[in-house]
Amino acid sequence: MSQKLLSVAIPSYNSESYMEHCIETLLEGGERVEILVVNDGSKDRTAEIADRYAAKYPSIVKAIHQENGGHGEAVNAGLRNATGKFFKVVDSDDWVDAGAYRGILDVLEIYQDDIDMMISNYVYEKQGAKHKKVMEYTKYLPVNRVFTWDDVKPFPIGKYLLMHSVIYKTRMLKDCGLELPKHTFYVDNIFVFNPLPFVKKMYYLNVDFYRYFIGRDDQSVNEKVMIKRLDQQMRVNRIMAKSFSELQVSHKYLKKYMFNYLSIITTVSSILAIKSGTEEHLAMKKQLWADLKAMDKSLYRKLRYTVLGIGVNLPGKLGRKLAVVVYKIAQKIYGFN
Q: So where are the chain's domains? A: 6-214, 223-334
Alpha carbons 171 and 156: distance in angstroms, whole number: 30
Percent of all residues in the chain with a pLDDT value above 90, rounded to a whole number: 80
pLDDT band at 265 (very low <50, low <70, confident <90, very high): very high
The pLDDT value given to residue 311: 86
The residue-averaged pLDDT of 194-214 equals 96
* Whether the predicted pLDDT of 264 surpasses 70: yes
Query: pLDDT at position 1, please?
Result: 54
* Confidence band, pLDDT 50/70/90 cuts, at residue 216: low
**Mean pLDDT, to the nearest integer, of 138-161?**
93
**Mean pLDDT within 30-51:** 98
Residue 234 to residue 273: CA distance in whole angstroms: 10
Average pLDDT, integer, range 71-97: 97
Q: Is pLDDT at 335 greater than 70 in this prediction?
A: no
38 beta partners: 11, 64
Measured CA to CA, the distance from residue 138 to residue 141 in angstroms comes to 6
Question: Residue 325: what pLDDT?
Answer: 81
**pLDDT at residue 285 tops 70:** yes
CA separation (Å) from 3 to 75, 80, 103, 216? 20, 16, 19, 37
According to DSSP H, which parts of 111-184 are helical?
A: 170-175
For position 330, what pLDDT does the model report? Answer: 67
CATH T-level topology, domain 6-214: Spore Coat Polysaccharide Biosynthesis Protein SpsA; Chain A (3.90.550)
- pTM for the predicted model, two decimal places: 0.93
